[in-house]
Structure 1
Amino acid sequence: MEEIIRILVVEDDEVDRMAVGRALKKAGIPVEMSAAIDCTSAIATLKQQNFDCVLLDYRLPDGDGLTLVQEIRNAGIKIPLVVLTGQGDEQIAVDLMKSGASDYLPKSKVSPQTLSRSLSNAVRIYRAEREAALATQRLRESEERYRLVLEGSNDGIWDWDLDTKEIYCNDRIYEMIGLPATGANLTYPLFLKRLHPSDRPRIRRAVVAHLQESAKLEVEFRLLHTSGEYRYCIARGKAQRGTQGQPFRVSGVISDITQRKRAEESLRFLAEASTLLSASLDYQTTLENLAKLAVPRLADWCAIDVVELDLSYRRLAAAHINPEQEELIWELQRRYPAQGNENYGYSKVLRTGNSDASFEVSEDLLTSMAIDHLHLSLLRKLKIKSYICVPLRVGSETLGSILFVSSESGRRYTKTDLELAEDLARRAALATENARLYREAQEAEARLEVQNKMLAQRNLQLLEAARLKSQFLATMSHELRTPMNSILGFSQMLLRQRHNPLKPQQIDMIERILNNGKHLLALINDILDLSKIDAGRMELKLEDLNLAKLVIATTNELRSLADEKNLALHVQADLHNPNAINDGVRLRQILVNLLSNAIKFTEIGSVHVEMRETSPEQLELTVKDTGIGIAPDNLEHIFEEFRQVDQTLAKKYSGTGLGLAITKSLVQLMQGSITVESQLNQGSTFRIQLPRQVEASVSNLNPKLNHRTQLGASTLDSSSLPQALKDSKTPKLLY
């Protein structure tokens, strides 16, 4: 189906409009006609609707065809205009064509053929021009997008003519080299000269392989900038070939990857530096190796200075890319050591703790740094172009500084280089601090080892003294008990004899001798028991016994003491199973110690004794009184040997102060435990947990002796010293 052509006919004569329609119909052109009768309506219609062509009469009610053509073109309406006129004036035709008419056709020559030909040509030309304009617009847009892409990518474009050897480059490539874009003429040989010497052979091989073997052309290289610095670049290209496959030009792009390469190199450098810094705890060797690592990776020469204990500065390490120049670094420091008030370099860094850098060292700056002509001469010999000096800081303390200098390479440091140097300095400072702490720890460990040996020796002496004390007490107890038994025996005989009755005064004196003798014998027995416990010679004689009978009988033995003080003494031993295996004598001794203390320290009230079963295999003995009680601060010391919690009580209440210590040791020997609950003036409660059956295999173990044995065999650390001294059995008064 043919495309319908939409036509606007501008004609005020309806007959002429109909004639045009008949002619187009006879010509076989599928059209869709619209009509306008004057210029005004024609302009309005064209602004509102789209048409493929306009047929207009030269004579119109409100103007002529020339005016209408001009108005249409001035309005920016682009559409084919065919003018029909009854006049054959050539000048009119010329004016119409100049004003923008597509064709001019006298009405006398209008026929289906001429009208069809004029209309078709006008529409065809218009459509061709429109498509060309659209293509041009798309081309412009494409070129603009391409330009924006290139500018955004920051890449350089190159086009190499293999015949002339000339290389076309855009401005970006000249920026990479540091040359002005105007007047520059880059050739392949000149490009090769700009390459780093070690990269040239590889680039030549890559280009030849691409031209001869169609290998992929993608290479990295270093390109010399006019500043003397090498820039890292990557080039990609593709050859254009003739019909025979021979290359005649190569086009491509160059990307500046300096930042990426330096970032990668920085990461590798920091990784190597971290490995080096952690490889040794000798900080001087570590920093010397660090200076060597920094050259030439980060600097042409490097110097490391540290702060001494007297706050003076000392150069610890130096390295130079040229070993012959390294002596200059040391000479500079020897001749002109930092005074601490300089406003540049490591002196400023060590004084302030902040980094100092000059990315471009001018002659004026060198002159301002120099103290005299010799100093300036040495600085010039070192060819300082750029420098960075960073502190070795740990917390708020500055341990030293690292100076990085660019000289022969011509490198100009940047803020990125400063950040890298500061990162490296932080790692070096931590390594230095760790090495210092390690050295101090070794020294402290050596001192501690000496102290340990002294403490171990002292501990052995204390153990030997304790052993001798126990041996002495055991011997003396036996020696004292023999004459004491005689004194007690003769006293009892005197009181019981009936042949020569004694006077009351004599009886009183003998009873005093007997009572004091019994008291002294009890003290001797306590001391003997304590010495046995300390020496580990206390043994339990296990037997089957009735606990209920033992508790009741022992309590009744002491009832007279309670009666003397008008105290109520209660005993309860309702056991489901009263049988047990234990040492009856020592169990009675425990109860006597607790019960006698309860009666002694209770003036008003009562004392309660209870034996009960907490489980089929566990028993609990409780002695509770309403006496004076114990202060909370003294509870933890109540079971210590020779400890009396309140010295004022020693004057009021008699006692050796050994009863509770012996009681606790006996309870532990029976595989039990003892606890106390008490408040001042509200009485005390002692609870003993015991197994129903004491095992014979462990009945003779002495936890206190085991502790002392382990103490003597082990090495003390500094934190265990106070406890070790505490464990020495220095005599104290005990409650």
Structure 2
Amino acid sequence: MEKTLKILVVDDELDRMAVRCALTQTGIQMELSEVGDSSDAFSILSTTAYDCVFLGDRLLGQDRLNLIHQLRSSRIKVPLVVLIAQEDKLAVELLKAGATDYLSKSRISPENLAQVLRSVIRVYRAEMQADLAKDQLRESHQQLIHKNQELEKQRQQLQMQNFKLSEASVLKSHFLATMSHELRTPMNAIIGFSQILLRPKFGQLTHQQADMVERILNNGKHLLMLVNEILDFSKLEAGRLDLKAEIFDVSKVINLVVDEMRSLAEAKNLSLLVRTDLQNSLIFNDPVRVKQILINLLSNAIKFTESGEISVEVKELSANRVTIIIRDTGIGIAPKDFKHIFEAFWQVDQTLTRKYPGTGLGLAIVNLLVRMMDGKIFLESKVGVGSMFKIELPRQITLSALGNDDLPLQLDRDRFFFSVKNPHHSSSQAR
């Protein structure tokens, strides 16, 4: 023990001298203080810190007990060594009350006092460290409780926000579906009347009038396409769009779409190629939605390609899956935009003066439809080189992807399975 210890001896004068003499011979650096009764001891211990207190047996037993109780109830922590005439029940009581150790007066010697002093101080320091650790644990526990309460508040707030967002999303989808439906009726009327005006039997229009009506017709069709996109997306997002599956020739659907889109490609001097590698081109799916997927992907490819070519390739992956690959030599997509490309209303150029128009729903609809068909979609692209969209679809979609209206098609599916097993069976027989 390097530091000078402060020791208090509480006893009558005669016994204090004996204890003092033994303590001074221990070789331990100490500063001794002495008092003669328990009240003086309590007063001095209330204001001054000591490293150890020796309580002599000249104090009445009850006085020592009272002093120990007073010190402990006042949360005055100090090692207490009681000196006893003999080991009896009183020693046990004193230890239970809070004394640290005891020593028989017959064993008072410099060696024993030094040993007891070192022992009680070591125990006391260990207790202080344990108390400090408990206080720290208690404080940490309180902090954790506080943090948990804060997290619970945040969780409840997030839950409320999620509920509000979900409610807003439902309202948005309902609004889009309602408005899209309401807009389609007048747009169909505009398109219909424009087509009637362009027929010669309803009167010959001047060149200028015909040009104006054609503009009305083309813009009406374009607007109707945008409205249909919004309506389809809102239905897909709300889970209200059902697939109407039937057996059809996927090669014919691809060729039909390519023929429809060829004029757009030729207007930009783009080559539009088709490659088919299928032993059996019959699949069980929704031909209207497969066509919609192809139109959206080809429209994007033509829109974002200024020169070069666009190709459509269809081939078998296995006996029960086919893949459709659309490549272009367009502007390409940066890797940082890959994670956003299938998000609704997202476009590479988000400015109001963007070069390429559109709702930003085409790829979002494609992604949702492909997933609905239990298929997969993959993207490869390089800025300035071009993009490749690959779609993998099962040859027959499961009934879980269909609405109740399609359940009677089970017979057609059985005939479809027969045609798959017999690829040389004619398509007309298969239907």
Please, what TM-score do these two structures have when normalized by structure 2? 0.68
**1:665 aligned residue:** 368
- Provide the C-alpha distance between the structure 2 equivalents of 1:417 and 1:674, rounded to a whole number of angstroms: 76
Task: Please tell me whether the aligned partners of residues 380 and 387 of structure 2 are also in contact (alpha carbons under 8 angstroms).
Answer: yes
Q: Which amino acid aligns with 1:406?
A: L
The counterpart of 1:647, out of the listed 350, 353, 358, is: 350
Task: Please tell me whether the aligned partners of residues 242 and 403 of structure 2 are also in contact (alpha carbons under 8 angstroms).
Answer: yes
The counterpart of 1:460, out of the listed 156, 160, 163, is: 163
Q: Which amino acid aligns with 2:374?
A: Q
- Provide the C-alpha distance between the structure 1 equivalents of 2:386 and 2:379, rounded to a whole number of angstroms: 11
Distance 1:650-1:641 versus aligned 2 partners, 3 A rule: farther
**1:625 aligned residue:** 328
**1:469 aligned residue:** 172
Shift of 1:424: 4.4
Distance 1:423-1:360 versus aligned 2 partners, 3 A rule: closer
For the residue of structure 1 that corresponds to 2:241, the secondary structure is coil
Please, what TM-score do these two structures have when normalized by structure 1? 0.41
**1:568 aligned residue:** 271
Matches within 5 A, 1:260-409: 336=47, 403-408=77-82, 409=102
Q: Which amino acid aligns with 1:621?
A: I
**1:558 aligned residue:** 261
Task: Please tell me whether the aligned partners of residues 580 and 693 of structure 1 are also in contact (alpha carbons under 8 angstroms).
Answer: yes
For the residue of structure 1 that corresponds to 2:159, the secondary structure is helix
**2:194 aligned residue:** 491
Distance 1:436-1:640 versus aligned 2 partners, 3 A rule: same
- Provide the C-alpha distance between the structure 1 equivalents of 2:38 and 2:206, rounded to a whole number of angstroms: 118
Task: Please tell me whether the aligned partners of residues 548 and 574 of structure 1 are also in contact (alpha carbons under 8 angstroms).
Answer: no
Task: Please tell me whether the aligned partners of residues 671 and 699 of structure 1 are also in contact (alpha carbons under 8 angstroms).
Answer: no
Distance 1:630-1:406 versus aligned 2 partners, 3 A rule: same
The counterpart of 1:616, out of the listed 316, 319, 323, is: 319
- Provide the C-alpha distance between the structure 2 equivalents of 1:592 and 1:570, rounded to a whole number of angstroms: 15
**1:695 aligned residue:** 398
Q: Which amino acid aligns with 2:79?
A: V
**1:516 aligned residue:** 219
**1:529 aligned residue:** 232
Shift of 1:495: 0.9
Distance 1:442-1:570 versus aligned 2 partners, 3 A rule: same
Shift of 1:643: 1.3
For the residue of structure 2 that corresponds to 1:651, the secondary structure is coil
The counterpart of 2:305, out of the listed 602, 621, 626, is: 602
Task: Please tell me whether the aligned partners of residues 609 and 622 of structure 1 are also in contact (alpha carbons under 8 angstroms).
Answer: yes
Task: Please tell me whether the aligned partners of residues 545 and 579 of structure 1 are also in contact (alpha carbons under 8 angstroms).
Answer: yes
Deviations 1:670-717 (A, max 9, x none): 01121211121111111112111110124469xxxxxxxxxxxxxxxx
**1:481 aligned residue:** 184
- Provide the C-alpha distance between the structure 2 equivalents of 1:328 and 1:494, rounded to a whole number of angstroms: 117
Distance 1:419-1:683 versus aligned 2 partners, 3 A rule: farther
- Provide the C-alpha distance between the structure 2 equivalents of 1:538 and 1:671, rounded to a whole number of angstroms: 15
- Provide the C-alpha distance between the structure 2 equivalents of 1:618 and 1:661, rounded to a whole number of angstroms: 22
Whether 1:507 and 2:210 are equivalent positions in the alignment is: yes
Shift of 1:650: 5.9
For the residue of structure 1 that corresponds to 2:79, the secondary structure is strand
**2:378 aligned residue:** 675
RMSD over aligned Cα, in angstroms?
A: 3.2
- Provide the C-alpha distance between the structure 1 equivalents of 2:40 and 2:274, rounded to a whole number of angstroms: 98
Deviations 1:38-94 (A, max 9, x none): xxxxxxxxxxxxxxxxxxxxxxxxxxxxxxxxxxxxxxxxxxxxxxxxxxxxxxxxx
Task: Please tell me whether the aligned partners of residues 473 and 528 of structure 1 are also in contact (alpha carbons under 8 angstroms).
Answer: yes
Whether 1:548 and 2:251 are equivalent positions in the alignment is: yes
For this pair of structures, how many residues does the alignment match?
325
Distance 1:673-1:424 versus aligned 2 partners, 3 A rule: farther
Structure exhibiting the larger radius of gyration computed from Cα positions: 1
Q: Which has the higher contact order (CA 8 A, sep 6+)?
A: 2
**2:29 aligned residue:** none
Task: Please tell me whether the aligned partners of residues 331 and 384 of structure 2 are also in contact (alpha carbons under 8 angstroms).
Answer: yes
Task: Please tell me whether the aligned partners of residues 180 and 227 of structure 2 are also in contact (alpha carbons under 8 angstroms).
Answer: yes
Deviations 1:223-269 (A, max 9, x none): xxx969xxxxxxxxxxxxxxxxxxxxxxxxxxxxxxxxxxxxxxxxx
Q: Identity of counterpart residues, as a percentage?
A: 45
- Provide the C-alpha distance between the structure 1 equivalents of 2:264 and 2:39, rounded to a whole number of angstroms: 99
Distance 1:332-1:513 versus aligned 2 partners, 3 A rule: farther
- Provide the C-alpha distance between the structure 2 equivalents of 1:326 and 1:493, rounded to a whole number of angstroms: 117
Q: Which amino acid aligns with 2:140?
A: L
Whether 1:590 and 2:293 are equivalent positions in the alignment is: yes
